[in-house]
């Protein structure tokens, strides 16, 4: 038996044409930093009284599904697969013919379009079967950009029970990995105003997109039947040194602002890779102020994306050399 370590495993995905119908082959193998995807098979215990002190007499098959997290560095290519799955839509437009650069726009609309589903292939050693899972959907997507590490994204998946398949052919797709040094954050009264403002220097930023998925099980099978999409919400927080009252006043006065986070990647020959995350309307729901005697004064604002006068609560523009849709 040949033992392997975790970094020798792989996770491949393909976005499904029909939700719940497995795709034949992966289109990408995500370069994950953590992978906790697991099959869950519940057992229903028979604990009926049988004139005995023994509690458990038998078990029967209960619900079966797959769940877990895939974490990876935020990069200029592969991140698009998770953004599209979580946000549910993509519009591709050509930015440049030479060099070939396209923009991939992912949107959460006012109506809250549903997330998409994917088929996943999971390998964890030569003696273990490759597990293929259909109807994998992103329950939540978390992005974090700190000033002491790579920018990261984590997708929490829920999906159907897996089956065993032959190992697919491996292929590698690499992208520029983003860090805090690549990021600029701007605030404004609307999108156009924010883009024209001077960047605000933050020390930390993170957000979470929550699709609030509910697994549905129905009579006739112990396996997952469907996923119900409930409330869609986007929340996050950012931290900056406390140099003025601006962000404290945002909190005190219930001021709605546009926030744009832009990360710049490689120069493709006159056109740069970019990742732009637009929160068209945010409100600071809470704040905390660092007041330790050995610390610099800093303020952390906890925000929520809202839809009060605009049509989209969040937009992601990913410009890169990928000329086909995700």
Per-residue confidence of the chain (326 residues) as pLDDT tens digits? 566 666 677 899 999 999 999 999 999 999 999 999 988 888 878 778 887 777 787 778 878 889 999 999 999 999 999 999 999 999 999 999 999 999 999 998 666 678 899 999 998 876 678 889 999 999 999 999 998 899 999 999 999 988 888 888 888 777 899 999 999 999 999 999 999 999 999 999 999 999 999 988 888 888 888 888 888 999 999 999 988 889 988 999 999 999 999 999 999 999 999 999 999 999 999 988 877 666 678 889 999 999 866 668 899 999 999 999 99
User: Cα(130)–Cα(163) distance, rounded to whole angstroms?
Assistant: 8
In a domain? residue 50: no
**How many alpha carbons fall within 13 Å on the CB side of residue 301?**
24
99 prior amide bond cis, ω within 30:
yes
Structural domain count of the chain: 1
Q: Per residue in 221-270, pLDDT tens?
A: 888 888 888 889 999 999 999 888 899 889 999 999 999 999 999 999 99
User: Cα(297)–Cα(86) distance, rounded to whole angstroms?
Assistant: 36
Between the CA of residue 175 and those of 121, 122, 158, 266, 273, what are the distances in Å? 21, 21, 26, 9, 10
In a domain? residue 49: no
In a domain? residue 287: yes
Residue 289, H or E segment: strand 272-290
In a domain? residue 46: no
User: Cα(212)–Cα(207) distance, rounded to whole angstroms?
Assistant: 15
- The count of other CB atoms within 10 Å of the CB of residue 177 is 18
- The sign of the dihedral angle between the CA atoms of 274, 280, 286, 290 is positive
- Whats the size of the chain, residue-wise? 326
In a domain? residue 54: no
User: Cα(268)–Cα(321) distance, rounded to whole angstroms?
Assistant: 8
In a domain? residue 48: no
Q: Which DSSP string do the residues of 202-220 spell out, in sequence order? A: -SEEEEEEE--EEEE--TT
In a domain? residue 325: no
Q: Are the C-beta atoms of residues 108 and 138 closer than 8 Å to each other?
A: no
User: Cα(315)–Cα(117) distance, rounded to whole angstroms?
Assistant: 19
Q: Are the C-beta atoms of residues 320 and 175 closer than 8 Å to each other?
A: yes
Beta bridge partners of 320: 102
User: Cα(79)–Cα(326) distance, rounded to whole angstroms?
Assistant: 10
Among 125, 145, 281, residue whose Cα is nearest residue 207: 145
Q: What is the DSSP letter of 192?
A: H
In a domain? residue 135: yes
Among 143, 187, 165, residue whose Cα is nearest residue 14: 165
Q: Per residue in 265-295, pLDDT tens?
A: 999 999 999 999 999 999 999 988 877 666 6
What is the domain range of residue 72? 6-41+59-320
Q: Are the C-beta atoms of residues 96 and 271 closer than 8 Å to each other?
A: yes
């Amino acid at each position: 038996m040949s033992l392997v370590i975790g970094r020798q495993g792989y996770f491949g995905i393909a976005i499904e044409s029909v939700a719940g119908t497995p795709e034949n082959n992966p289109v990408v193998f995500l370069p994950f930093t953590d992978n906790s995807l697991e099959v869950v098979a519940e057992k229903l215990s028979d604990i009926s009284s049988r004139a005995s002190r023994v509690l458990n007499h038998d078990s029967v098959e209960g619900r079966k599904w797959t769940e877990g997290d895939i974490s990876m560095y935020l990069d200029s290519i592969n991140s698009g697969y998770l953004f599209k799955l979580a946000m549910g839509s993509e519009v591709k437009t050509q930015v440049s013919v030479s060099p070939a650069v396209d923009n991939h726009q992912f949107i959460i609309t006012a109506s809250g379009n549903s997330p998409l589903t994917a088929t996943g292939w999971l390998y964890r050693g030569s003696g273990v079967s490759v597990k293929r899972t259909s109807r994998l959907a992103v329950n939540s997507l978390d992005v974090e950009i700190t000033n002491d590490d790579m920018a990261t994204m984590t997708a929490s998946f829920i999906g159907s029970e897996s089956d065993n398949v032959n190992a697919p052919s491996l292929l590698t797709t690499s992208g520029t990995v983003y860090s805090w040094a690549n990021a600029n954050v701007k605030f404004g009264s609307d999108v156009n105003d924010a883009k024209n403002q001077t960047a605000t220097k933050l020390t930390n930023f993170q957000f979470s997109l929550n699709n609030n998925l509910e697994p549905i099980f129905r009579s006739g099978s112990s396996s997952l039947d469907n996923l119900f999409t409930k409330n869609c919400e986007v929340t996050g927080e950012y931290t900056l040194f406390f140099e003025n009252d601006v962000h404290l006043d945002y909190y005190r006065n219930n001021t709605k602002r546009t926030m744009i986070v832009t990360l710049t990647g490689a120069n493709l020959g006159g056109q740069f890779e970019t990742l732009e995350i637009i929160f068209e309307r945010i409100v600071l729901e809470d704040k905390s102020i660092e007041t330790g005697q050995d610390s610099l004064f800093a303020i952390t604002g906890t925000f929520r994306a809202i839809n009060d006068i605009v049509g989209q609560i969040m937009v992601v523009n990913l410009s890169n050399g990928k000329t086909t849709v995700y």
